[in-house]
Copies of this chain bind each other. A is one copy, B any other.
């Protein structure tokens, strides 16, 4: 039931121009002339039977599609999504990952933060401007609904008539995810159980929602799995990359995995990386890219290899024990048949624990020439220690020993209307004990839950030092991709061990640090970011590994909430906000006839 309409905006000055253009018979419409448009979608979210990896299950789909429909817009356009919740008992929200939401913080789609979850049967209208070209995506942001399959692509092209700063002939869009056979409801119960039942590694890697469980389309190179028997029309049939020889293709790659860190490679083809998280970067060539949950890249490939062959596209697991077979598909040089298998085996995923290789890739990412430069100084620096902890026998993730437990009243409403009992008014700690030993399990593993907010002054320049540490078990420290809502940040640097201002300060890159919305911390290392707190609203900053967030691995930032305009009523109709705002009197005299 997707209804997509392109409606031109008619601000008054343009209206006059428009009327004049009719009078004078210019013969062009506004949309052809490159004026901003409204990209209007009406979506229904519901569970449906689906076989993402050839095993039937239920997925959370939109309008009968999985993944959800792709949104496509130009810079300056307004995206309007009327989202109807057709689930029977669950609320729902959708977060537009990478979109800044300037002026529309209530449209950020984070339950408990920017809005009340949309109740079953209700419709909430997201309305926001897309202001930067790039490769984005959207996904659920309540419970583990992203893991349940609620996601899709959001692509922003430059304003009409403007070009990208690199040339390509065609583009291909890939949204990567991971998939479990156990329902997210059971996964959630396991994570919240005592003792914890960890979700384990995914069964399957999905490329545009398609993967193959317990078989391989490259079985002839792999004697562990049997050959998949697919006709091509199945929901799990691979998404084929059809290309023509001697062209340049932009491949957009975004990862919305719940857990897996991925490596992307195409047999025989080198990748020119040109975009990261909707920001242009200094192009560099690589054989493969590492992509963490929450990140996106564009790579250019040239189809200059022998055109009588097809080539593998391989997406393997890194940074965790790779118990999941790689996701595979075919780069199909037309007019070859898709069924013509490549002559060589699929590119091999680099060793999962070769973090030096991962760092090598990550450290090559710099802002493109002409990108906004970071302020040279910060106003405030916050240290966020990432630890795995215990709490009354439950396993939690905590930041500076506080495990985030989201409140029922959305922060945006609570702060705007000064509902001071809706969350802890004491700010959470801005650092951790100087003698904390990041190389060993926490000495006192007990954490507390909390829901305090880091409040920034409007325009404040904030540094965050994300500090990784040892987990509960000896000799383990994991990758965590941190995603910031409402802002891009400059990635100033990465380092080993504990951040030391004396030693590390001068190593920070203030010259050409890349702008991102997601950044990784490596095991036992630190990552330094800088951003300007200039977007009025309340914003999540969290590990993008969904079960980690579910276990408390996030913080809440806020700035300039007093500047936020009218919030849609439906974003307020829950918790303390509803209680404070509902006038429990009839809107009219109730004594008139009524049954």
Question: Which residue numbers of A lie inside 8 Å of B, CB to CB?
Answer: 46-49, 58, 88-92, 112, 116-117, 119-122, 142-145, 183, 185-186, 188-190, 192-193, 197, 406-408, 415-418, 453, 455-457, 550, 558-562, 566-567, 569-570, 572-575, 578-584, 586-588, 590-591, 594-595
**Contacts A584-B566, A590-B417 known; A595 to B558 CB distance under 8 Å?**
yes
Q: Which 5 A-B pairs have the closest CB atoms?
A: A573-B578, A455-B595, A121-B408, A89-B143, A562-B594
Complex Cα–Cα for A143 and B591 (A): 34
Are B47 and A189 in touch, CB under 8 angstroms? yes
Are B581 and A121 in touch, CB under 8 angstroms? no
Complex Cα–Cα for A561 and B586 (A): 12
Interface of A is mostly: loop
Complex Cα–Cα for A578 and B457 (A): 33
**Contacts A117-B119, A119-B575, A569-B584 known; A189 to B590 CB distance under 8 Å?**
no
Complex Cα–Cα for A142 and B88 (A): 8
- From B122, B570, B587, contact of A580 by CB (8 A): B587
Distance in Å: Cβ of A580 to nearest Cβ of chain B = 5
Q: Which of A117, A408, A550, A560 counts the most chain B CB atoms within 10 A?
A: A408
Are A569 and B562 in touch, CB under 8 angstroms? no
Are B560 and A595 in touch, CB under 8 angstroms? yes
Contacts of A46 in B (CB 8 A): 192
Are A567 and B581 in touch, CB under 8 angstroms? no
Are B189 and A588 in touch, CB under 8 angstroms? no
23 contacts between A and B (CB under 8 A): A46-B192, A47-B185, A47-B188, A48-B193, A49-B189, A49-B190, A58-B186, A88-B142, A89-B90, A90-B90, A119-B408, A120-B143, A121-B575, A122-B408, A183-B185, A416-B594, A418-B590, A457-B595, A562-B590, A562-B594, A567-B584, A578-B582, A583-B583
Distance in Å: Cβ of A569 to nearest Cβ of chain B = 5
Contacts of A91 in B (CB 8 A): 89-91, 119-120
**Contacts A193-B48, A416-B586 known; A570 to B578 CB distance under 8 Å?**
yes
Complex Cα–Cα for A581 and B188 (A): 34
**Contacts A48-B193, A417-B587, A572-B584 known; A559 to B406 CB distance under 8 Å?**
no
Nearest residue (CB) in B for A564 is B590
**Contacts A562-B594, A574-B122 known; A587 to B418 CB distance under 8 Å?**
yes
Distance in Å: Cβ of A535 to nearest Cβ of chain B = 13
Contacts of A415 in B (CB 8 A): 594-595
Complex Cα–Cα for A407 and B550 (A): 31
Nearest residue (CB) in B for A584 is B569
**Contacts A91-B89, A408-B119 known; A587 to B595 CB distance under 8 Å?**
no
Task: Please name 11 further chain A to chain B contacts, defined as beta carbons within 8 Å, in addition to the given A89-B145, A457-B595, A578-B582, sorted by A numbering.
Answer: A49-B197, A88-B550, A89-B143, A90-B90, A119-B408, A121-B406, A185-B185, A415-B595, A558-B595, A561-B594, A582-B582
Are A88 and B574 in touch, CB under 8 angstroms? no
